Amino acid sequence: MEQLSFTDSNGINWIVREDGAESPRSLSGDVAPGATWLRFDSELEVRRLWHYPDDWRGLSPIQLETLLDRASTVIARFRSAPHTVASAASTARPIVPRPAAEVRAPGPRPDAPPPPRPRKDDEE
């Protein structure tokens, strides 16, 4: 099976190939036999484009990216974020309770109405 690879304007590497319903890699069981599509594979996702030019193999990377933009995502791959294990001494911070005198009540909410103004007869 012939395939092409290109890098899109975001720096993502894609492999493009023609795929079909008779292939064991068919992504859906509801596709008519003999139907073909362009399959775009990257580390992050798989896209499928049903209507594409017969001469797709001769297209430039910019033209392939235009087809990619029209393709539908059928598989989204998620990679876990890399994490490092830090030593407990470098990340642990002691919990120190604050004295009650330092704990302040929250201030008024920004959307709260202003407090009522004292009336003149309240002042006497």
pLDDT at position 65 is 97
Residue 59 lies in a domain: yes
What's the total number of domains in the chain? 1
pLDDT at position 106 is 60
Residue 53 lies in a domain: yes
Residues 6+ away with beta carbon under 8 Å from 119? none
Residue 60 lies in a domain: yes
Residue 116 lies in a domain: no
Residue 96 lies in a domain: no
pLDDT at position 39 is 95
pLDDT at position 78 is 73
Residue 112 lies in a domain: no
pLDDT at position 33 is 58
Please give the residue range of the domain that contains residue 36.
3-76
Residue 120 lies in a domain: no
The overall pTM is greater than 0.75: no
Residue 101 lies in a domain: no
pLDDT at position 53 is 93
For residue 20, give both structure tokens.
Answer: 């079909």
Per residue, the 3-state secondary structure of 68-115, as one string, reads HHHCEEEEECCCCCCCCCCCHHHHCCCCCCCCHHHCCCCCCCCCCCCC
| Residues in the chain where the model's pLDDT stays below 50 | 26
**pLDDT tens-place string over residues 105-115:** 566 666 667 77
